[in-house]
Structure 1
């Protein structure tokens, strides 16, 4: 019967020899499963998912009781996301679509019949914001809000609905989307 090696004789080399077979087994299993890859230059940006903006906003117009506008954004903007949740506590539906701009920025457009305060609270997840002024775009005033460590929020009253723009875009991109929203036709529900 072999005697155990005294504790004093166990060292880092013994630990390394114990771990090497385990690491090799992990690499073999990962390679077989195809879950491992090595890219020397780092990750590559994938293709941005695309949605059908017209169909999405038409479906929203068919489902809600307030006017939905379909903005004509620049051709190189990619509509990539959409959702239709309700504002908690008020059951006011919200139509949100998102765009990726050529600079890689994201801009989101939210439309609702909720009050400006409720819409802002919903989109900021309750984060404290303060009005920073007004941007007048094509005859419509957009109230600009900002909070500590938040992106800007632009809100406009469009009569029977409100529109909110937020995202990581620059001033020109915000102005372009705001202008597109103001001049956008209201979709007729089917």
Structure 2
């Protein structure tokens, strides 16, 4: 008769001693691959990606069939992203989006589109939203779409184009960008 217990009857201590070398190997491999870091103070903000706002909006103005505006943003606002999309659905159309990081480190984006208001809001929000208010800024009417736990969306109809603002920035930044786009130069006039 064998004096050792069958493997199924071994205790948790034996399993723990088997897992410790495996866990150490995983940590060592992750460290070698530089896929983890130790940061006792929490995460730190990295550098803001650079983005050529002038070139992007100029390119969009040459290629899109609606007026593209170039807002003059305040000192300290950093353009960090841009994209072009097609808003799907009824009353859809092309859109141009640029994003900014404000001095407190918050994000706000401007989307310009020929799409209808409800299609544009649904596209950006990922689903339908209900209007929750309105703002009058620089002589323009902005419809505010808000709610609990969602980023606000401000939309204004400029005739041939709808402008949409959204992001995690504060209300003051929304007002600043809404004013800037109201006064902005139209690039493809």
1:174 and 2:174 correspond: yes
1:138 and 2:138 correspond: yes
| Pair 139,30 (structure 1): closer, same or farther in 2 beyond 3 Å | closer
Kindly provide the CA deviation profile for residues 43-78 of structure 1, in whole angstroms up to 9, marking residues without a partner as x: 211011121111111111111000000000112011
| Pair 33,3 (structure 1): closer, same or farther in 2 beyond 3 Å | farther
Q: Which residue of 2 aligns with 1:111?
A: 112
| Secondary structure of 1:84 counterpart | strand
| Pair 2,34 (structure 1): closer, same or farther in 2 beyond 3 Å | farther
| Secondary structure of 1:61 counterpart | helix
- Mapped to 2, the partners of 1:185 and 1:9 lie a distance apart of 78
> Given that residues 121 and 129 in structure 2 are in contact (C-alpha distance below 8 angstroms), is that contact kept between their aligned partners in structure 1?
no
Q: Which residue of 2 aligns with 1:65?
A: 65
- Mapped to 2, the partners of 1:111 and 1:92 lie a distance apart of 10
Q: Moved runs in structure 1, 4+ residues, more than 6 A?
A: none
> Where in structure 2 are there 5+ consecutive unaligned residues?
none
- Mapped to 1, the partners of 2:122 and 2:156 lie a distance apart of 15
| Equivalent pairs, count | 188
Q: TM-score, normalised by structure 1?
A: 0.88
| Pair 3,29 (structure 1): closer, same or farther in 2 beyond 3 Å | farther
- Mapped to 2, the partners of 1:173 and 1:162 lie a distance apart of 19
| Pair 8,127 (structure 1): closer, same or farther in 2 beyond 3 Å | same
Higher deviation after alignment, 149-158 or 80-89? 149-158
Equivalent residues in 2 for 1:37-186, closer than 5 Å: 37-89=37-89, 92-133=93-134, 135-186=135-186
The two structures, once aligned, show a CA RMSD in angstroms of 2.2
- Mapped to 2, the partners of 1:30 and 1:168 lie a distance apart of 33
| Secondary structure of 1:180 counterpart | helix
Q: Which residue of 2 aligns with 1:25?
A: 25
- Mapped to 2, the partners of 1:36 and 1:123 lie a distance apart of 33
What's the offset of the Cα at 1:91?
Answer: 5.2
Higher deviation after alignment, 4-13 or 34-43? 4-13
> Given that residues 127 and 147 in structure 1 are in contact (C-alpha distance below 8 angstroms), is that contact kept between their aligned partners in structure 2?
no
| Pair 114,25 (structure 1): closer, same or farther in 2 beyond 3 Å | closer
> Given that residues 115 and 162 in structure 1 are in contact (C-alpha distance below 8 angstroms), is that contact kept between their aligned partners in structure 2?
yes
Q: TM-score, normalised by structure 2?
A: 0.88
- Mapped to 2, the partners of 1:69 and 1:167 lie a distance apart of 19
